[in-house]
């Protein structure tokens, strides 16, 4: 006579395990479906924005070039400003002095640099608004 081992799991426990496994499979399938949907949405976005991204890349290169020009303007204003400061240090019998020359041009150079900077900032903001 052959001895059949007793089951360590009851029928109720086995049914519960099957329900849990079914829920796990459903959740996994939903996760895969969601992942596929996200990937599909990303592909559509990439294809749908290809021209806009190329345009933005080109404009960013222009902004970078213009930013270099702005930096040159600030550099020019700074160098010109420093050349217009004439300092004579204190020494025995002389109290020392500092003199500023060409002040109108110094101020105008700084105004020009600041205006270029503000114009570039406005251009960038306006360009970005077109990418709604």
> Domain limits of the chain?
10-48, 50-132
In order, the DSSP letters of 59-96 are HHHHHHHHHHHHHHHHHHHHHHHHHTEEEE--BTTB--
Q: What are the contacts of 43-52 at 24+ separation with CB within 8 A?
A: 52/131
Q: In whole angstroms, how far apart are CA 63 and each of 26, 55, 67, 90? A: 51, 12, 6, 47
Q: What are residue 87's DSSP bridge partners?
A: 98
Q: How far apart are CA 49 and CA 42, in angstroms?
A: 10
pTM of full prediction above 0.75: no
d(CA 73, CA 113): 5
Distance CA 132, CA 115 (A): 27
Tokens 């204190």, residue located: 90
CA distance 42 to 33: 14
Q: Which of 81, 77, 84 is nearest to 98 (CA)?
A: 84
Give, for all 132 residues of the chain, the pLDDT tens digit. 677 777 777 888 888 999 999 999 999 999 999 999 999 999 998 988 898 889 889 999 999 999 999 999 999 999 999 999 999 999 999 999 999 999 999 999 999 999 999 999 999 999 888 876
């Amino acid at each position: 006579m052959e001895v059949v081992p007793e089951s360590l799991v009851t029928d109720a426990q086995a049914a519960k395990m099957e329900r849990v496994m079914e829920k796990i499979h459903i959740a996994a399938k939903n996760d895969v479906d969601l992942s596929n949907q996200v990937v599909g949405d990303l592909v559509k976005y990439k294809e749908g924005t290809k021209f806009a991204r190329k345009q933005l890349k080109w404009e960013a290169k222009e902004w970078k070039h213009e930013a270099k020009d702005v930096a040159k303007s600030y550099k020019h204003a700074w160098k010109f400003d420093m050349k217009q400061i004439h300092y004579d240090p204190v020494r025995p019998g002389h109290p020392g002095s500092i003199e500023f020359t060409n002040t109108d041009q110094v101020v105008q150079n700084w105004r020009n640099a600041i205006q270029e900077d503000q114009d570039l900032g406005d251009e960038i903001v306006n360009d970005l608004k077109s990418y709604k």
